[in-house]
Structure 1
Amino acid sequence: MLAKQTQALCLRYLQQLDKMLLKIKTELQKSSNQSEHTILAAKLADDMFALHVQVRITCNFALRGCCRLAGREVIYFDNQDVSFAGLQQQISQTVAYIKALEFAEPLLSKPALGELKQGEPILHDTAGQNTVSLPQSKFIQQYILPNMFFHLTLFYAIARSRGIHLSKGDFDGYHFYPEGFSF
């Protein structure tokens, strides 16, 4: 249950990321006030990752979670192409790989959020200079998904800070607001 839900959630938001990236590309083609290089290199602060890195990290957290739940070695589709095409290729390869993952067994059968099921595997990862070792449900719910959404949100925030017209609906695919509406 956890594996299939995680897979579906990751796929949904990777597809939203791809749509937002396409919207940025389309908007830049219509205006001449910034280049592809400028927007992809944009940061919220000097000591933070650029927009293109936020895309890559979002993809990689989805893979880190889904691969581990499927009992597979974690694979990444990073490439050296810092362009819309290179990022869209990484998203596409990530989505295709996650879609193709098969999960050998039902990993959890509806425990309370964060509750450890007896015999649940402990999953490991690195978080900066720290090693994270958590039961798989906590690993996904408290580490993988929050980090994936953190980097996805930073992608959105960087784009918005550079004047790109994205909305909450672009982020989640559900909300709709009339043109010109803002909070």
Structure 2
Amino acid sequence: MSLSMYGASVPVLRQGLQNLQTILTKAVEFADNKKVASDVMAASRLAIDMVPLSRQVQIACDTAKGCGARLAGVENPSVADEEKTLQELQHRVEKTLGFLSQLSPEQFVGSEDKAIQLNFPGITLNFKGQDYLQQFVLPNFYFHISTAYGILRHIGVDIGKKDYLGAIGGV
């Protein structure tokens, strides 16, 4: 049996977000134990010209929900980027997971050939659904989750590869 667009997207994005949630939970515990303000951690970044942890999480969530919405042919929920604390970022991830859980495999049938257009300042990207998933969504999603992981690990949060990968292979 071939891999469906739903199977290649929603479960993968959900797992990545669940792992991000685990990492954020450990960050909250770290902040509490070290008496570091949650908003200070959310504003942390690896380099001065990179966006902070809060934006990394927002973009990962936006990428996941945008993918689900576009491929399923449903409205992409608009979410204001107002999170300033780790707890608010956790809530953002929860809302995104909730949205993805409402999508069904049937909504993705035929989406591999669906025209997808993304408009950014100064550039418009046009894809077929499968290329959108493989060439844009998944690399972008993992980039921002990896960067969030890197920021928190750099701060000193006790996380490792197992936290980033989560349960794999039924383990």
**Coarse TM-score class (shorter-chain normalised):** 0.7 to 0.9
Name which of 27, 31, 37 aligns with 2:30.
27
Q: Is the 8 A contact 1:77 1:93 kept in 2?
A: no
TM-score (norm 2): 0.88
Q: Is the 8 A contact 2:44 2:53 kept in 1?
A: yes
TM-score (norm 1): 0.82
Q: Is the 8 A contact 2:58 2:81 kept in 1?
A: no
What is the CA deviation profile of residues 149-175 of structure 1, one whole-angstrom value per residue up to 9, with x for unaligned ones?
Answer: 111011011111111111000101148
What pairs with 1:28-177 in structure 2 (closer than 5 Å)?
Answer: 28-32=31-35, 34-102=36-104, 103-104=106-107, 106-107=109-110, 120-127=113-120, 129-174=122-167
What is the CA deviation profile of residues 100-155 of structure 1, one whole-angstrom value per residue up to 9, with x for unaligned ones?
Answer: 013435236xxxxxxxx7xx222111355321101110100110111011110110
Residue 12, structure 1, aligned to residue 33, structure 2: no
Give the root-mean-square deviation of aligned CA atoms.
1.8
What is the CA deviation profile of residues 73-121 of structure 1, one whole-angstrom value per residue up to 9, with x for unaligned ones?
Answer: 222334524112211211111111111013435236xxxxxxxx7xx22
Of the two, which has the highest radius of gyration?
A: 1
Cα distance in structure 1, aligned partners of 2:48 and 2:75: 33
**Gapped runs of 5+ residues in structure 2?**
none
Residue 104 of structure 1 aligns to a residue whose secondary structure is helix
Give the superposition deviation at 1:72. 1.3
What is the CA deviation profile of residues 12-69 of structure 1, one whole-angstrom value per residue up to 9, with x for unaligned ones?
Answer: 111111111001101121123x321221111111111000111111000001111111
Name the residue aligned to 2:5: 2
Q: Is the 8 A contact 1:78 1:90 kept in 2?
A: no
Q: Is the 8 A contact 1:37 1:83 kept in 2?
A: yes
Identity of aligned residues (%): 24
Name the residue aligned to 1:178: none
Cα distance in structure 2, aligned partners of 1:106 and 1:29: 45
Letter in 2 for 1:35: A
1:105 to 1:29, Cα distance in 2 relative to 1, 3 A: closer
Letter in 2 for 1:37: D
Cα distance in structure 2, aligned partners of 1:105 and 1:135: 13
Letter in 2 for 1:67: A
Letter in 1 for 2:13: C
